[in-house]
Amino acid sequence: MKPLLSALLPLLCLASSASAAPQAPVAVQSDLAFLSGPPTLTFAADWSVTLSGQPEAGGALDIAYDTSRLPLCRGTGWTITGFAMSNRGPVQSFPVADATTVDAIAQTQLALAQGGTLELWFQNTDATGCSHWDSNLQYNFHTWVTQNPTISFHPAPAWTYTVHGTLQGGTTLMVDYDIGRIAQCRAQYMNYKAWGTTAYYRINGGLVTMLSLTASWGEWDAEFWRQIPAFIPLPPGPATLELWFSTQDRKGCQQWDSRYGQNYVFAIQ
């Protein structure tokens, strides 16, 4: 499921116990210095959001949330709930704070199953029906989760790619493809984007599998497009992986990124 757009519409409320809410979306500030423990995402009372360390698939992400960001809705049974979504996929909810929380800063931890874009947002509710959101003015808070292995395809004009880690049989490969590499075929329909980018792959010359590299965002299917990674389960090696890409739109336009028909070829160990 995807969160209803209506659920993200309430703006953050002003409160005397916290700084004034920002009037524009806040970017996550990163400090990638080495940490002895899991990376930490801190949501401070001044509305700043800071990431310390680098989140990685298969690991954990600590979340430190200052409850003064959502000071209202403190009636009977009040709770602050967090929501997480990876690459526009299913939404996961998790408890952050409630009436039994002692400290102003609530601590919780997320298990990271998948690399790519992780989005977070928060809701404060109580038994009276009061509800307030901390959703970065509907845009949510975004951070990047690495995954090993990953192949990153960089945008034009460089047209390069980078392999991170080892393509080891039995692991899952993340394909991080910049959809700006194919700039053509961008048809719209009734002011909505009516195009998509697709990854194709085959192993040892076998069957071709297609994976979408774009996802919709919002109540309407094509209201906004977001770039998402593709994930390929790698069979036991040794094996050969071929990758290629295309963008197509509703008018029948299709352009390819296939290394001039030779495809991008990688060895699986």
Give a yes or no: residue 113 inside a domain.
Answer: yes
Residue 160's pLDDT band, with cuts at 50, 70 and 90, is very high
> Is there a single domain that holds both residue 238 and residue 154?
yes
Domain, as residue range, for 242: 150-268
Whether pLDDT at 249 is above 80? yes
What is the per-residue pLDDT across 96-120, written as a single tens digit (0 to 9) for each?
Answer: 999 999 889 999 999 999 999 999 9
Whether pLDDT at 259 is above 50? yes
Whether pLDDT at 62 is above 50? yes
In degrees and rounded to multiples of 5, residue 71 shows phi and psi of -85, -10
What is the per-residue pLDDT across 197-233, written as a single tens digit (0 to 9) for each?
Answer: 999 999 999 999 999 999 876 554 445 578 999 999 9
What pLDDT does 27 receive? 87
What pLDDT does 239 receive? 97
> Is there a single domain that holds both residue 138 and residue 90?
yes
Give a yes or no: residue 51 inside a domain.
Answer: yes
Give a yes or no: residue 204 inside a domain.
Answer: yes
Contacts with 62 (C-beta within 8 Å, 6 or more apart), sequence order: 37, 38, 39, 40, 41, 107, 108, 109
DSSP class per residue in the chain: ----GGGG-SPPPP-TTSPPPPSSPPPPEEE----SS--EEEE-TTS-EEEES--BTTSEEEEEEEGGGS----STT-EEEEEEEETT--EEEEEEEETT--SSEEEEEEE--S-EEEEEEEEEE-TT--EEEESTTTT-EEEEEB-SSEEEEPPTTT--EEEES---TTSEEEEEE-GGG------EETTEE-EEEEEEEEETT---EEEESEEE-SSSTTS-EEE--EEEEPPSSSEEEEEEEEEEETTS-EEEESTTTT-EEEEE-
What pLDDT does 97 receive? 97
What pLDDT does 35 receive? 60
Give a yes or no: residue 179 inside a domain.
Answer: yes
The separation between the first and the last C-alpha atoms of the chain, rounded to the nearest angstrom, is 36
What pTM was computed for the model?
A: 0.86
What pLDDT does 224 receive? 56
Give a yes or no: residue 178 inside a domain.
Answer: yes
Contact 60, 82 (CB under 8 A): no
What pLDDT does 34 receive? 56
Supply the mean pLDDT for the chain: 88
Q: 58 or 157: which carries more pLDDT confidence?
A: 58
Last residue within a domain, chosen from 120, 145, 170: 145
Give a yes or no: residue 21 inside a domain.
Answer: no
Give a yes or no: residue 121 inside a domain.
Answer: yes
Average pLDDT of span 56-67: 97
Give a yes or no: residue 13 inside a domain.
Answer: no
> Is there a single domain that holds both residue 203 and residue 176?
yes
Contact 91, 83 (CB under 8 A): yes
What is the per-residue pLDDT across 113-148, written as a single tens digit (0 to 9) for each?
Answer: 999 999 999 999 999 999 999 999 988 999 999 999
The number of distinct structural domains making up the chain is 2
Average pLDDT of span 51-69: 96
What is the per-residue pLDDT across 81-100, written as a single tens digit (0 to 9) for each?
Answer: 999 999 999 999 999 999 99
What pLDDT does 190 receive? 80
Share of the chain above pLDDT 70, in %: 88
What pLDDT does 226 receive? 81
Last residue within a domain, chosen from 145, 161, 184: 145
Q: 9 or 149: which carries more pLDDT confidence?
A: 149
> Is there a single domain that holds both residue 211 and residue 135?
no
Whether pLDDT at 14 is above 90? no
Last residue within a domain, chosen from 145, 177, 203: 145
> Is there a single domain that holds both residue 187 and residue 261?
yes
